[in-house]
Amino acid sequence: MIDINIIRTNPELVKENIKKKFQNHKLEYVDQVLALDTKIRDLKKEGDNLRSQRNLLSSQIGALMKEKNLEEANKIKAQVVSNNTRIDQIEKEEEELSVTLKKLMCLIPNIIDDDVPIGQDDKENVQRLTVGEAKIPNFEIPYHVDILESLNGLDLDSARRTSGNGFYYLVGDVARLHSAILSYARDFMIDKGFTYCIPPFMIRSDVVNGVMSFEEMENMMYKIEGEDLYLIGTSEHSMIGRFKDTILKEEDLPLCLTSYSPCFRKEVGAHGIEERGIYRLHQFEKQEMIIICKPNESRDWYNKLWQISSEFFKTLDIPHEVMECCSGDLADLKVKSCDLNAWSPRQKKYFGELGSCSNLTDAQARRLGIRYKTQDGKIMLAHTLNNTVVAPPRMLIAFLENNLNEDGSVNIPEALRSYMGGKDKIYPQKKGK
C-alpha cells in the first residue's frame, strides 16, 4: 500500500504508474481515493470543531448552574446532546469511509523503480546476466519424471490416490537429496550471517492482507475451514507477519533472517508438458531469506540478495540467468523484482524459475505497522525484501538435468556430499528396489 500523501500531492504520478503496469481499470481508484480522503478529512475537521465547542459549552453549563440560570443551562445542555449525537454520526461515518478507503488503497500498485523495464507480462522480462556455462551434452536428457523414476525416487501414482494431482512421494536417494539441499541451504545462509528461523505454517487473515494483494491470496492461499487461518504459500508471509504492529530499534536493523517452511498453494496449472511432473505443485518446501531494513538500505539489499542466490546455485553446478521482471509482471506490492531461471540442457534454453527476489519498500510495512525508532526519536516505516534461497522439489528438475551423466547416474556437487553421507553420485535402480 503506497503512502496516501503521494496520491494527495501527485495523483498523476500514481496514474502513470498504473498505466505502466497495464492496469488501466484501476485509474478510477485514484480519483475515488482522493474524494474519500477529502470527505474523511472534512468529517474529522467537523468532529474536532464540535468537540472543542462541546468542551466550551460544558464549562459554560457549570457557570450557569452556579448562577442558577437553569433555563439557559438547559438550552446549552440540549446543544451538547445535539453535538454528541452528531459526533457519534461522524465517527461512525469516518470509520465506514476509512474501511472503504483502505480497501481501495490496497488495490493501487506500489510505485515501481525508474529502471524497471516496461512490459505487459513475463514474455517481456529482460535478461540482465547469465551465470555458469550453459552446456548441451552429447547425449539425450530424459524428461525429469523419467530421470526420477529411473532413480526409484518418485511415486506420483500413489500420491494421486492418497491426495490427488499436484502431490508426490519422494523416495530413497532422491528424498535424501531433497533434504540435503534444504540443509545445505540453511547452513549456507547461516554462514552468510542470517538468523535461522522456523515460523508458523498458518497465519491469520490480517497478516495475509498485509503481505500480499487480494488477487494473489485468492489464487494461492488455502483457508482452514471454520478458522481464521490460512496455510502459508511461502514463509515470507509469517516471517514478515512476525513484526506486525512493532517498533524496532534503528540499531537492530537490518534484520537478516532465513526461514524454512513447507509451502501450500492452490496454483497448479495445466500449461503444457513442462509444468507436469513436479514443476507445479500444491505442496513443496522452501528456504527463504527476509530483510527488514531502513529505507536507504533496501536498494543495496535487493542486489545483495539475488547475488547470494546466484552464488548458491553456482555451488550446485546449475547455470542460470537473472531476469529483470517487467512492469506488468510485478505484483502490486513490489517496486522491483528479478527471477533466477535455470539452464535446461534438455530444452536447450533457460527454463524453470529457481527463485524470485523482490523489494517491496514500505508497502508491507505500511499495511502491517512495521516501524523503527531512529536515534533522534522519529518513528519511521521499515522496508521489507524477500528472496528464495531454494524451493525443492521443483529445483530438482534443474539439478538433475545439469548433473546427469550418460549412464543415468547423477553427480553430487562437493557442497552437498557431506549431507549425502559422502556420496559423489547416485545411480539408477531397478524398479521397486
Decide: helix, strand or coil at residue 21.
coil
Q: Give the E-state strand segments of 88-241 in sequence order.
A: 126-131, 154-155, 169-170, 195-197, 202-203, 222-223, 230-231
* Residue carrying the nine cell digits 539441499: 181
Using the predicted structure, report yes or no on whether residue 251 has a pLDDT greater than 90. Answer: yes
Using the predicted structure, report yes or no on whether residue 64 has a pLDDT greater than 50. Answer: yes
- Identity of the amino acid at 150: S
Beta partners for residue 344, in sequence order: 349
pLDDT of residue 405: 97
Q: Which residue has the higher pLDDT, 216 or 382?
A: 382
pLDDT of residue 270: 43
Alpha helices of 192-289 — where are they, by DSSP H?
A: 205-211, 214-220, 235-241
pTM of the model: 0.89
Neighbours of 139 (CB within 10 A): 12
Decide: helix, strand or coil at residue 253.
coil
Q: What is the pLDDT averaged over residues 21-45?
A: 96
Q: Which residue has the higher pLDDT, 218 or 308?
A: 308
pLDDT of residue 277: 85
Strands of the 230-231 sheet, one edge to the other:
202-203, 230-231, 222-223
How confident is residue 79, by pLDDT bands cut at 50, 70 and 90? confident
Q: Which among 153, 140, 144 is positioned nearest to 352, based on CA atoms?
A: 144
Domains of the chain (ranges, CATH numbers): 4-107 (1.10.287.40), 122-426 (3.30.930.10)
How confident is residue 273, by pLDDT bands cut at 50, 70 and 90? very low
Q: Which among 355, 353, 397, 401 is positioned nearest to 135, based on CA atoms?
A: 401
pLDDT of residue 271: 47
- Poorest-pLDDT segment among 82-86, 192-196, 282-286: 82-86
Q: What is the pLDDT averaged over residues 21-36?
A: 97
How confident is residue 73, by pLDDT bands cut at 50, 70 and 90? confident
Q: Are 171 and 187 in contact (CB under 8 A)?
A: no
pLDDT of residue 276: 66
Neighbours of 219 (CB within 10 A): 13
Per the prediction, the chain carries an average pLDDT of 92
Using the predicted structure, report yes or no on whether residue 172 has a pLDDT greater than 90. Answer: yes
pLDDT of residue 196: 98
DSSP secondary structure letters along 56-73 = HHHHHHHHHHHTT-HHHH
